[in-house]
Chain A
């Protein structure tokens, strides 16, 4: 399958569908806008808008208790909001699949995004997450497939990190 530069969100959507994900939670995010739209338009997926990302960690635990698979979409700043709630997934070995768009790295205009963005990888690893990073559109599907397998097959925390190069610069003037 050829992957165009801008259709990697469709690859993520297809991976979630193949993986049997039924609940997708998110805090609205420009980088995930297309994926969120596709999940909202899908009749088999319950889309759950959150007020803060840690809600999605708890939602995914509840979904698994009830026999459903969930995914949590967020931007890198959201990782910091989740850290204590990750203890729920770690202690109970709940599957937790996260798709994370990066801010604070490639051509970031807003310096306030840098402190959290720069520690996303080590923080996730300290929290015992399996981390798969995609720098290019071609790497997205494979990273997502491996994360789905790790999360639901191994009952682990698994994160796909989508580099800011994939998402592009935020446009600040209109």
Chain B
């Protein structure tokens, strides 16, 4: 029985703490993050497919005292696989890249993604030099991931195996300038 995506997101973000900054990827993970509760420290992506992990890297390098979680989908990370190689040689200790893997492109009609045919994201992340790579397939492993996210001490990659379901969309703010400004204000950056 695969994990439910909304439950997984809510579990990872429960009592998130002021220092957790979230980059949800284009598509379903952005709706999941909005469903878990809006927060000024979420920078929702409505585009830039393939860019979520690199936005997370730039943010993690700029904010070494805060934790950065990129939570994105299998299709989104597949479009930017090279970013795992780039992150693998930077390895900021405050960055987690978490992929909700349902094996399909949910936003475009549930067409199969490469992971459904055996492309191994955990193997790729490990081969790119990311030391902590977790395969999350059940509630126990999800709880463990949530704990590790709370006490992040090394670059972390996790593949969370989720069901291919389409819960009702929860749409967050989509004005990019407003999202950017509220995020920067929330973490104390002067204009």
A and B interact: yes
Q: B58 touching A60 by the CB < 8 A rule?
A: yes
Query: What CA separation (Å) do A25 and B187 show in the bound complex?
Result: 24
Q: Which residues of B contact A87 (CB under 8 A)?
A: 47-48
- Is A98 in contact with chain B by the CB < 8 A criterion? no
Q: B58 touching A23 by the CB < 8 A rule?
A: yes
Query: What CA separation (Å) do A140 and B140 show in the bound complex?
Result: 58
Closest to B55 in A: A62
Q: Which residues of A contact B49 (CB under 8 A)?
A: 84
Q: Which residues of A contact B61 (CB under 8 A)?
A: 23, 46, 48, 62-63, 66, 68
Query: What CA separation (Å) do A13 and B184 show in the bound complex?
Result: 27
With A62-B58, A65-B58, A65-B59 given, is the CB distance from A55 to B83 under 8 Å? yes
Q: A57 touching B51 by the CB < 8 A rule?
A: yes
- Is A114 in contact with chain B by the CB < 8 A criterion? no
Closest to B54 in A: A58
- Which residue, A52, A56, A58, A70, has most C-beta atoms of chain B within 10 A? A58
Chain B stretch 65-114: residues in CB contact (< 8 A) with chain A: 80, 82-83, 85-86, 89-90
- Is A51 in contact with chain B by the CB < 8 A criterion? yes
Q: Which residues of A contact B54 (CB under 8 A)?
A: 55-56, 58-59, 62
Closest to B82 in A: A51
Chain B stretch 143-178: residues in CB contact (< 8 A) with chain A: 176-177
From B21, B23, B57, B180, contact of A59 by CB (8 A): B57
Closest to A70 in B: B58
Range for the number of chain A residues in contact with chain B: 20 to 34
- Is A67 in contact with chain B by the CB < 8 A criterion? yes
Q: A65 touching B82 by the CB < 8 A rule?
A: no
In the complex, identify which listed stretch (A35-43, A88-96, A99-107, A159-167) lies at the interface while the others stay far away: A88-96
- Is A30 in contact with chain B by the CB < 8 A criterion? no
Q: Which residues of B contact A133 (CB under 8 A)?
A: none
- Is B1 in contact with chain A by the CB < 8 A criterion? no
Q: B57 touching A48 by the CB < 8 A rule?
A: yes
- Is A145 in contact with chain B by the CB < 8 A criterion? no
B82 to chain A, nearest CB (A): 3
- B-side residues, CB < 8 A to A, are 21, 23, 43, 46-63, 80, 82-83, 85-86, 89-90, 176-177, 179-180, 183-184, 187, 189
> What 10 A-B pairs are tightest by C-beta distance, nearest first?
A62-B58, A66-B62, A51-B82, A92-B176, A58-B51, A58-B54, A68-B62, A62-B59, A62-B55, A63-B58
What are 8 A-B residue pairs whose CB atoms fall within 8 Å in the complex?
A55-B86, A58-B83, A59-B55, A62-B56, A62-B60, A65-B183, A67-B189, A68-B61
